[in-house]
Structure formats: structure tokens, C-alpha cells
Amino acid sequence: MSWSRYNPVRALLLWVGSIVARAGIIDRERVERATDLAWPRIVTGLARMSRSTADVAMVGIALGPTAIAGVGYASPFWGLSFALGGGVAGGTIGLVSQRFGADAHEELALSVKASALLTVAITVPLIAVYWFLAEPLIALIGSGDAAVAFGADYLAVVAFGVPFAALNLIGSRTLVGADDAWTPMILRGGGAALNILVNAVLIFGLGWGVVGAAVGTALSNVVVAVAFAVGLARGGLPGIGEFPVQIPLSGPHFDRSLFGDLAEMATPLIGTNLARSGGQFPKLYIVGLFGPNVVAAYVVAMRVRALMDTPNWGFSMASSSLVGQALGQDDEDDAGVWAHDIIRFSLACYAVIAVGVFVLARPIGRVFVDDPSILPTVVTFIRVACFGVLFSGVYGGSTGPLRASGDTRWPFYAQLTGLYLFTLPIAYVGVAVPEIGQTALYAAILAEMAVPAIIAYYRYRSGTWKVVSRDYRPDAAASD
């Protein structure tokens, strides 16, 4: 029996899916196909988020809560690599999946080249910014000299991994859009394992502290980016197998029409991601006003939430790929059925995960901190995150078809509204009204997930995304 078909993540998804299918909510065959495409992405997400969580846990064990706060202050800056790269990659998967479904391989290759070019252009400048301005940037949102110093040390070094982290997203979305989620899982999951190993050696073996964590993160992203580049150029990698697509090194290298489509699709997604990432800066500043212990508890809870949110890595990408392929074949009805079923499948899985983590919140919290004065706060934050993550399942399932169709503006509007009109004002109430205090932070965590989910789901239910997709299908590009 192959591990690619018999493994705990796949088994759990099929178990949940079978329950929903028996209730007549989802077609069983669609459960199996969505699972086969989603589970490798979920494992990839678990590996990468485990890497990020291990960073925090290792730093906390070695240096204490202040170092956790410092890495937390640096995280939104590092997250810009995923905001920018993920925005471009969201356009990539829409173009690739439609062209893969239509067997338009030359256009597919040009779409990937355009994505890589745009990604490099917008991420390389961040290296210089982070290297030279690390400390003043961290000081803008951080509090406490020690925490700011830890954050600045981490950011200055991890900066060199920013373009490579963004390019990894392009490689991953390219293969997922071509129905191959297994290869990105192997490459990115392997990179996460390498990251944890290097971190352990540098943090505990050599005593490099937060700098060791940053070196491990940057180095692992470089290795994975090289693997994606070589594999796409060759059409496969030894020991992993053939890729479903090949991006030849020979020309043509640029198509103005496709680049324009990519920029048009990616710009709202970049804006969406920047809205989400940008909101983390003032939010961390507000959390910092409650003191370093609350910051540490908040950072731990957000790492746990990121682990719980990994199903979106699979379900959102599976929806984008399967819906995009149906649209590429001009089958809007089938695209709608795929979108509908994956949303329901996703929400059922999120419910199971949220209940499990809620029950185990205290032992999970002890992995990061054992100080009895901090642990209750950590546990409460984790349990609040369990409620919020249910809305994330709705948001991810709703944005999948929007991304596949090119209807990418509404996720941007959803993030702007959720963060800036609800989350940040609610969080600040806890500072302005001391009687409310941390309760406002709990409410802000819920609003951050619920508001974007409601808006994105509204747009999905309108069906307008099917009409929008007609301007981005292969025949439309060819007629421009």
C-alpha cells in the first residue's frame, strides 16, 4: 500500500467526507477526488506551519517569552513575502488550471514565466529594506528593548529568504493547478523538515538563538526554490518523478497579454494579502500595549490557529484547481457544483478540528510555556481561536472559486473590511476601556475571521464569478 494513498491525513478527510456524503450533502466521488488533491496541500501546510510553530517553541524554550514576542513582532514583515508571492500565485493557479484543462501548454508555460518575473520584481527590494532597517521597523510595532532586539536580529537575517519563499508559492500553485499536489507537498514538506533540523542545530547546538531560527528559515526556502526551478525546467526530479507540466528554458519567454491578465488577477489578491498582513502591524502594536506576556500568549495562539487553518491550504487550492479546470472546459454548471461541495466538505473538517483543539487547549499551551502565570491566558486565546477558525473554512472555500475565475476583488474588499473596520477598532477598545481589557482582543480574533468569511461567501453565492471567468479563459486570451 502506497503512503500517497494510505496516510492519517487522507484517512481523516475521507472519514469526515464519508459522513457528509452519507447525509446526502456531498457526492462521494467528488469527496474522493477533492481529497486526493487537497490532502498533500494540507500536509504541506502542516509541515510549514509546524516549522513556524517549532521556531516559536524552540526560541521560547531557549530564551523565554520575551524572545517569543520578538519573533512575533518580526513575523508580519516576513509574512509580506507570502502576501506578495501568494497574491501572484493566486493569479498563477487561475491561469494555469484553465490552460491545463484546455491543453494550452504554451500559454501555460508563459503564464508561469510571467509569474516568476513579477514575483522577483516585487520581492527583491524587501531584502535591502529589512537588512538596513530591521531595528526601526520592529520598533514601530514592538515594545520592550529586549523583544525589539530579538525581532530585529531575526528580521535582518530572514530577509534573504523572502524572494525564495515567494517563488516557492509560484512553483507550488503551478503544479496544483495541473492536478499535482503531491510534488509540492514533498518539496515544501521536506523544506520544512530541513528548517526544523537546522534550527535545532543552530539554536540548541551552537547557541545562535533567534538568528539560528532565521538562518534555518531562509536556507530551507532557498533549497526548495532551487528544487522547484530545476524540476519545472526538466519536467521532473530524480526520486520524485515526472511533473505534469514542463516550463522550457527556450523561448518565448514573455507574452504581454498573459502578463496583463496575470497582473489584473494578481493585483487584488496582493491587495487582499497586504490588507491581511498590513493589519498585523497595528494589531501587534495594540496587543503589545497589554504587556509582553499577553503578546507571547497571542503569538502562541496565532501559531496554533495557523496549524488549525491548514485545511484551507488543501481545500481552497483544490477548489481553485477543479473549478478552474471546469471553467477552462466551459462547463460553468460543473464548476458551481465543485465549489458548492468543497465548501461543505471543508466546513465539516474544520468543525472536527476546532472541537479537538478546544478540548486539548491546555496541554497544547504547555508545549510553549509552563509558567502558571501565563498559561491560563494562552489557553483562553487558543480556545477563542477555535471558534474563529470555523469562519476560516467558509472563507477559504468561498475564495477558491473566486480565485479560479479571476474574480479576485471581493476577497480584497473582505479583508479590508474585516481588519480595518472591525478587528482593529474592536481590539483598541480593550486599551481605551480598561474594564473590557483582553475581552476586546478575543472579540477581535473572532471578527478577523468572521467578517471576511461573510463577505466572500456572499460574493460566491451571487454566481457573478462565473461571468467574470469568461474574460480569462484560454479562448479569451487568444482573441485579445
pLDDT along the chain (480 residues), means of 10: 60 86 83 82 76 78 82 86 81 78 76 87 91 92 84 93 91 83 83 88 90 92 93 87 83 78 79 77 87 85 88 82 82 85 89 93 86 87 93 87 81 86 92 88 93 92 85 57
Report the distance separating Cα 293 and Cα 312, nearest Å: 30
CB-neighbour burial class of residue 177 (10 A; exposed 0-12, middle 13-18, buried 19+): buried
Between the alpha carbon of residue 480 and those of residues 69, 111, 340, 476, 477, the distances in Å are: 51, 15, 31, 7, 5
pLDDT at 127: 92
pLDDT at 473: 63
Report the distance separating Cα 394 and Cα 401, nearest Å: 12
pLDDT at 6: 55
Q: How many CA atoms lie within 13 A of 272 on its CB side?
A: 28
pLDDT at 59: 84
pLDDT at 5: 52
State the pTM of this model: 0.72
Q: Which helix (H) or strand (E) holds 416?
A: helix 409-416
pLDDT at 160: 94
Name residue 65's beta-bridge partners: none
pLDDT at 225: 93
Helices and strands in the chain, H and E counts:
20, 2
For residue 236, which phi and psi values (nearest 5 degrees)? 160, 175
Here the cell at position 364 is 497544547
pLDDT at 475: 58
Name residue 236's beta-bridge partners: 242
- Provide the angle, in degrees to the nearest 10, between the axes of the packed helices 162-177 and 125-141: 110
Q: Is 242 helix (H, G, I), strand (E, B) or coil?
A: strand
pLDDT at 356: 94
Report the distance separating Cα 232 and Cα 250, nearest Å: 13
Q: Are 198 and 215 in contact (CB under 8 A)?
A: yes
For residue 241, which phi and psi values (nearest 5 degrees)? 115, -175
pLDDT at 422: 94
pLDDT at 222: 94
pLDDT at 428: 92
